[in-house]
């Protein structure tokens, strides 16, 4: 049994939430399992409960997961209860929920009746304040559901419900975490990676592929769009003062992202910038870099400490890949003293010294896409 969590507060959209969640779940489990849902719960009928629960723990939009036993007759509840109550525990309480009002006994009364039967048949004691076991009985029209334990799900909204976002995915620690966090709020994430061969290696690109594949496990259908960035980057290198190179490179990245986001129907850009982490992420830098686009930019880790980001990276399984030592396009061209307080007018002056518009179009037109659902990775990591 799946409990929806936060999406139950969105009354108007509830049906759509449930539809998307059920679609995401069906994509991860076997075809022959029966998934049913109503406005407050979803049920999956399955034999291999363990492995299905494990998959469900990676799906956003799920608040709780419980292994429940379904019976059709109220007289069978006692038997099931005795079977599932952990005998190593001492105390219990029964909590009954009755949505089927044709069942005439009230929830309180039924809890009392069942509790009495359990006391008669076992050595358990009742403790209503701090029980070792909570025995839940849900009396519904389609059957009676009995369960004792529930594990937490990831929470959040089902991926896809919020629309599409374009994640700037580098090989680092921060941006995959941002992908995960955006997915948590229901964003259907597609990734964009700026590739600068031969200055950056095939290993660096494979690392990014691998990262997009890992975040893909969280019920997304993550595509990776690769931007051939070399030509534009070399022109920046030739035409701009070295201390402004990263600033201008970032401005170019955002311009490309905006154009491409519009092309694929993404409504926001998602980025791993974190305030003050490096020179290009001071508030002054962000102001200057952000100036080139009107698109909303979501920076999920903007206010996180690095250690907090690392903690999530470890939890979601991206950390070990992120720390592999392959150079990214930003590290290859990194100047010794990047400007910390860039002046937008100065940046514009450098940019206007070469025809960046056509180079941007060249980048956008040559973007190619790796669909991690279809493409086999030539995994050389
Ligand atoms: P990360 O750990 O995510 O690489 P970082 O701390 O190394 O971040 P930067 O390299 O300054 O920071 O990059 C800031 C953000 O810009 C990244 O989190 C990512 O969203 C984006 N970015 C940087 N390089 C690339 C790239 N080659 N392709 C796509 N996005 C990039
Ligand atoms: Mg990086």
pLDDT 10s digits, 32-44 = 888 888 888 899 9
Do 176 and 210 lie in one domain? The reply is yes
In sequence order, which residues have a C-beta less than 8 Å from that of residue 79 and are 6 or more positions away?
none
Q: Are residues 129 and 196 in the same domain?
A: no
Distances (CA, A) of 258 to 42, 217, 364: 38, 26, 10
89, 219: one domain: no
Confidence of residue 374 (pLDDT cuts 50, 70, 90): low
| Same domain membership, residue 178 and residue 91 | no
Ligand nearest to the CA of 208: 1
Nearest ligand (C-alpha, residue 298): 1
Burial of 21 (0-12, 13-18, 19+ CB in 10 A): buried
Domain shared by 88 and 199, yes or no: no
User: What is the tens place of the pLDDT at every residue in 255-299?
Assistant: 999 999 999 999 999 999 999 888 788 999 999 999 999 999 999
Query: What separation in Å is there between the alpha carbon of 272 and the centre of ligand 2?
Result: 8
Looking up tokens 């039924």 gives 110
DSSP classification of residue 157: B
Q: Which of 106, 122, 154 is the endpoint of a domain?
A: 154
The pLDDT tens digits for 184-206 are: 999 999 999 999 999 888 899 99
- Are 331 and 239 part of one and the same domain? yes
Q: Which of 154, 177, 195 is the last residue of a domain?
A: 154
Whether 126 and 249 map to the same domain: the answer is no
Half-sphere exposure (Cβ direction) of 65: Cα atoms closer than 13 Å: 22
Contact criterion met (CB below 8 Å) for 135 and 92: yes
Are both 118 and 136 inside the same structural domain?
yes
Q: Is residue 54 located within the same domain as residue 140?
A: yes
Instruction: Summarize pLDDT for 30-85 with one digit per residue, the tens.
Output: 778 888 888 888 999 988 888 999 999 999 999 999 999 999 999 999 999 999 99
Cα–Cα distance, 41 to 3 (Å, whole number): 5
CATH classification of the domain holding 98 = 3.30.2130.30
Reading the block at residue 357, the tokens are: 């518009």
Ligand 1 pocket by Cβ (under 6 Å): 168-170, 172-175, 192-194, 271-273, 277-278, 280, 328-330
Domain boundary among 126, 154, 182: 154
What's the pLDDT at 14?
Answer: 86
Q: Which residue has the higher pLDDT, 217 or 144?
A: 144
Q: Look at residue 376 and tell me whether its pLDDT is greater than 50.
A: no
Which pairs count as long-range contacts for 361-366, CB under 8 Å and 24+ apart, including other chains? 362/231, 362/232, 363/227, 363/228, 363/229, 363/231, 363/232, 363/256, 364/227, 364/256, 364/259, 364/260, 364/263, 366/227, 366/228
Q: For 103-145, what is each residue's pLDDT tens digit?
A: 989 999 999 999 999 999 999 999 999 999 999 999 988 899 9
Same domain, 34 and 146: yes
142 and 60, same domain (yes or no)? yes
Is it the case that residue 6 has pLDDT exceeding 80?
no
Give the pLDDT of residue 81. Answer: 97
Measured from the alpha carbon of residue 174, the closest ligand is 1
What is the total count of domains within the chain? 2
Are both 200 and 278 inside the same structural domain? yes
The CATH number linked to 374 is: 3.40.50.620
9 pLDDT higher than 70 = no
Closest Cα to atom 31 of ligand 1: 170
Write out the residue range of the structural domain in which residue 70 sits.
2-154
Indicate the top mutation candidate among 272, 302, 326 to test ligand 1's pocket, ranked by most ligand atoms within 8 A of CB.
Answer: 272
């Amino acid at each position: 049994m799946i409990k929806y969590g936060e999406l139950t507060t969105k009354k108007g959209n509830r049906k759509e939430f449930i539809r998307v969640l059920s679609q995401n779940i069906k994509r991860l489990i076997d075809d022959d399992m029966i998934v049913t849902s109503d406005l407050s719960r979803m049920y999956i009928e399955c034999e291999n409960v363990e492995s299905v629960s494990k998959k469900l723990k990676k799906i956003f939009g799920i608040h709780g997961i419980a292994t429940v036993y379904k019976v059709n007759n109220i007289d069978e509840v006692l038997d099931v209860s005795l079977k599932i109550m952990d005998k190593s525990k001492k105390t219990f309480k029964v909590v009954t929920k009755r949505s089927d009002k044709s069942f005439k006994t009230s929830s309180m009364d039924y809890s009392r009746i069942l509790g009495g039967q359990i006391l008669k048949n076992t050595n358990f004691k009742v403790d209503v304040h701090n029980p070792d076991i909570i025995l839940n009985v849900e009396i519904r029209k389609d059957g009676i559901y009995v369960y004792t334990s529930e594990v937490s799900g990831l929470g959040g909204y089902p991926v896809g419900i919020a629309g599409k976002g374009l994640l700037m995915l580098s090989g680092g620690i921060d941006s995959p975490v941002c992908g995960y966090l955006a997915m948590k709020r229901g964003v259907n994430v597609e990734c964009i990676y700026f590739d600068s061969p031969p200055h950056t290696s095939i290993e660096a690109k494979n690392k990014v592929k691998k990262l997009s594949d890992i975040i893909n496990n969280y019920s997304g259908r993550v595509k990776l769009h690769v931007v051939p960035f070399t030509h534009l980057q070399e022109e920046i290198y030739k035409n701009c003062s070295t201390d402004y190179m990263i600033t201008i490179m970032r401005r170019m990245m955002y311009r490309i992202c905006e154009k491409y986001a519009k092309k694929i129907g993404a409504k926001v850009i998602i980025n791993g910038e974190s305030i003050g982490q490096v020179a290009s992420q001071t508030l002054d830098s962000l102001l200057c870099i952000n100036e080139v686009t009107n698109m909303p930019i979501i920076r999920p880790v903007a206010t996180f400490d690095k250690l907090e980001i690392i903690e999530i990276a470890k939890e979601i399984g991206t950390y070990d890949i992120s720390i592999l030592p392959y150079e990214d396009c930003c590290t290859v061209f990194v100047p010794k003293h990047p400007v910390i307080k860039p002046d937008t007018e100065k940046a514009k002056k450098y940019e206007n010294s070469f025809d960046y518009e056509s180079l941007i179009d060249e980048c956008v037109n040559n973007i190619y896409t790796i669909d991690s659902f279809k493409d086999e990775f030539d995994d050389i990591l």
